[in-house]
Amino acid sequence: MIAAIYYVLALGFSLVAIALAGIAAHRNLIVVMLGIEIILAASTIVLVSFISGIQNPDPSGIMMLFAIWAVASAEIITVIALYIYMKSSDRSFDISKLSKMKW
Amino acid sequence: MISDIFIIVIAGLTICGGLLVFLSKRLLHAVLALTFVFIGSALVFAVLGEAFVALLQLFVFVGGLSTYLIVAVASETAQGGFSKTRFISALAVAAVGIALIFAWTGSGMLPYGSGFANIAASAISEYYPVFFMLLLLLFSAVIGSVLIMRRFVKLVV
């Protein structure tokens, strides 16, 4: 099981690296937010691998897992609303053109 | 040993999914690749023995949020109307998928690790203020989305 945890940790770190590279390289707002979603998925992978590796896990670690899930869910809600709004109003998804957040 | 090989294969496929999110030219393909990452992480949780987390990941993220995201992105190019054959085929695929998950969890093949469900239940009673904060976070996200969508409705109408 210990070897398996190392593989899973490697998976989590690889996903974070891929997501960071993708966020740095992409200019599409929605794809950038999908990259943040990948980072959150990687953090759940790392957290669960640590929790499964110890005998009596602390409940606060599980609360952290719920918190990550809540942030990821809130982000998906925001992505959907932003995508539909920006698509319908013919706004550009290019983040370099989104210089100000004006309501 | 077999579980190690299984984890390596799943990890490889999940990393491919993560790469496809950024390499896809169409947004729909990127969203599908993200769904693949969620499925891969759920499989990793299952192999680690955390059946409860794996099922939560499958039902909430793959079944709920990813489907919602795919529908939102795909609806931009889709035509209106209702196809009965498409609905029946989608229903058949969903039924087979759910039946497979149900058979897998009930067959005893799934290892049970640290008793995640029991710890989660005790954590809920111990850390209930944190749950209220998470509830507020989700509620504010929903309110923000509704405010954005109000502008969308004004644009359409």
Give the three-state DSSP class for B43.
helix
CB contact under 8 A, A89 and B41: no
- Closest by CA position to B115, among listed A80, A57, A10, A14: A57
Q: Does B142 lie in the same domain as B94?
A: no
Number of structural domains found in chain B: 2
CB contact under 8 A, A80 and B8: no
pLDDT(A69) > 60:
yes
Mean of per-residue pLDDT scores for chain A = 83
A78 interfaces chain B, CB cutoff of 8 Å: yes
Q: Does B58 lie in the same domain as B21?
A: yes
Beta-carbon count within 10 A of A90 CB: 7
Residue B79 domain flag: yes
Contact B44, B14 (CB under 8 A): yes
Å between B15 CA and nearest CA of chain A: 6
Picking from A48, A49, A103 by the largest number of B CB atoms within 10 A of its own CB, the best residue to mutate is A48
Rounded to a whole number, what is the largest CA-CA distance in chain B?
60
A74 interfaces chain B, CB cutoff of 8 Å: yes
Residue with tokens 């809600």: A77
Residue B120 domain flag: no
Residues of A whose CB is below 8 A from B38: 41
Domains in chain A (CATH in brackets) are 2-88 (1.10.287.3510)
The whole-number pLDDT of residue A5 equals 81
CB contact under 8 A, B47 and A25: no
pLDDT in tens, chain B (157 residues): 777 788 888 899 999 999 998 998 888 888 889 889 999 998 888 888 888 888 888 888 888 788 777 877 776 655 555 667 776 777 777 778 777 777 766 665 555 555 666 667 677 777 777 777 888 888 888 888 788 777 766 665 5
The set of residues, in sequence order, having a beta carbon less than 8 Å from that of B93 and lying 6+ positions away, is none
Range of B152's domain? 127-157
Question: CA dist A28 to A39, A92, A96, B4, B144, Å?
Answer: 17, 9, 9, 37, 21
Q: Does B28 lie in the same domain as B86?
A: yes
CB contact under 8 A, B19 and A18: yes
| pTM, to two decimals | 0.79
Q: Does B86 lie in the same domain as B56?
A: yes
A49 interfaces chain B, CB cutoff of 8 Å: yes
